[in-house]
Amino acid sequence: MTLRINATYAQSAVGTGTYTRNIMRVLPEARPWTLPAVLTRGHPVAFWTRRIAEESSSWLSGTTIHPYWCTSSARSDIVSVLDFVQYREATAVERSLLRRATRRARNVLALSATVAEEIDADLGRRGVIAPPFPDPEWYIPAPGKQVPRKGRIRIVYWGGVHARKGISEFLLATSRSDMAADVEVYCPRDTPHVPGLRLHRYGDLTSKALVRLVDSCDLSVYPSSEEGFGLPVFESLLRGLPVISKPLLVYEEFAMPSSARVHVKSDEPDEVSQAIRDAVQPHRLTPKMLLWRPTQRQALASLTQAIAEAMAP
């Protein structure tokens, strides 16, 4: 029997790609499924389809990629609604396609309770919560940071660089703050140049290399204004790194140690510099702040149940 999983994508396949890749890791090795990709924020041209195919080629080998308009007719057993934040910005046509796909699917997976509630309200389906979990490399024991590093404060960011992620504004505020000379920031290659700030751009790092980079830093930032889950925040905590982020409900949902998180409500230079100072206080540095086992167990249980239901006659 073939199990058809329908993954809904936004404009980028990076974060959602991690999620789907990890779903595929826990599913049976024989791969009795196909994965038609849905682009909820797609365009009626092949551009996004091609981009998804390019970015995902390493882990989607053997999977047929369909453009999003095919998915309305491709009946799925499971629809995983990954990036529901983007759904709010979707066009009427895109929404109707997703509605149709979820209506016909046996199960709908949601990243978090926040997303599940939104699905329920907008699509009339109750989503099963199956949170994401990071790659195995992130579970390698972290070296621990009992003593603050000497030299400049090293900040790391990984994730998209588009407007919703808020990284450009954060960097701009940092460059205008009194901490500008004391920090250096590691961020993705496509991050815009920020005058007055020491920026180190990195390319397409492997998961292992990214973990090594994170381990060498003092704190991470994830100033996204909306998140379905916010995987990098969890990954930072897994490596024992304090995080500066916006106060989002979804972070509270999975029992994250609040002492390790520093919230910034706005991108004012003063608030940002204070947040950086707070984050590097010695009491925030612990070897490992999050053991992700309960979350992972919950995800696996939800997935196993969804697959069993989908494959039942």
Partner 1 sequence: MNRRPVLRVHNCLPSSLAHYCQSLADLVDLAGGRVQGVYGVDLEVPGRSSLRKLGVAARILFEQRRTPGRSSQDRLLVAWPAFGYLDLILWRPGAGRVAVVLHDPLALRRQRGLGVLSRGLARSYSAEGVELVVHSAAALEHVHRLGFPTAVQLPLPMRQPSSKWTRGRSIVVLGQYKAARDLKLLGDLGPRLEAAGLLPEIWGRGWPEVSGWKVHEGHLSEAEFDRVLHCSAAVLLPYTRLFQSDVAVRAAEAGVPVVGQEGSNLTELYGRNWPGVVAAGANASHWLDAILSVVSRAPTEVIERTDRRYEEVVAEWSNWLHDSADGSPLAEKERTIRRVQSGMGLRWAKRIVRTAELRRLSARVRPLLHRSTVAAALQSVLLDRIDVVGYNSLGPPGLDRVVSQTCTAAQILEPRYEAWAKQLGETPRFHRKQWEYVVILEAARQADVLHEGASAVGFGVGTEPLPAVLASLGVDVLATDQAPEKAGHWSRRSEHASEVAALEKPWICRSEQFYQRVQFRQADMNRLLGFGLYDLVWSACAIEHLGSPSAGLKFVRESLKLLAPGGLAVHTTEFELTRTEKTADYGHCAVYRLSDLTQLCEEVTEAGFEMEINPYVAFEHAADRSIAPPFSRGDEQFHLKLALYESITTSFAIIIRRLSQS
Which positions touch partner 1 (CB under 8 A)?
A: 45-47, 50-51, 54, 58, 152, 184, 186, 189-190, 193, 198-206, 208-210, 212-213, 215-217
CA distances for 82 relative to 5, 159, 232, angstroms: 12, 15, 15
CA distance 68 to 79: 13
Helix, strand or coil for residue 237?
helix
Residue 165 or 246 having the CB closest to partner 1: 165
Q: Give the shortest CB-51-to-partner 1 separation in angstroms.
A: 7
What three-state secondary structure class fits 44?
A: coil
CB of 42 to partner 1, least distance (A): 13
**β partners of residue 263:** 245
In the complex with partner 1, which residue's Cβ is closer, 188 or 269?
188
How far apart are CB 177 and partner 1 at their closest, in Å? Answer: 19
Name the minimum Å distance from CB 128 to partner 1.
33
- Residue 277 DSSP class: H
For residue 134, give Cα distances in angstroms to 25, 212, 237, 295, 313.
Answer: 11, 15, 12, 11, 32
Give the three-state DSSP class for 136.
Answer: helix
Closest distance of CB 118 from partner 1, Å: 27
Cα–Cα distance between 2 and 42 in angstroms, integer? 26
Q: Min. distance of Cβ 11 from partner 1 in angstroms?
A: 11
Q: How far is the CB of 14 from partner 1 (least distance, A)?
A: 13
Q: Which is nearer to partner 1, 59 or 274 (by Cβ)?
A: 59
Of 28 and 47, CB closest to partner 1 = 47
- Report which DSSP code applies to 190: T
Q: How many CA atoms lie within 13 A of 250 on its CB side?
A: 27
Contact between 239 and 214 under an 8 Å Cβ cutoff? The reply is: yes
If the CB atoms of residues 141 and 203 are measured against partner 1, the closer one turns out to be 203
Query: Comparing C-alpha atoms, which of 165, 159, 81, 89 is closest to residue 115?
Result: 81
Which residue number, 82 or 185, has a Cβ lying nearer to partner 1? 185
Residue 230: exposure state from Cβ atoms within 10 A (0-12, 13-18, ≥19): buried
Closer by beta carbon to partner 1, 33 or else 186 = 186
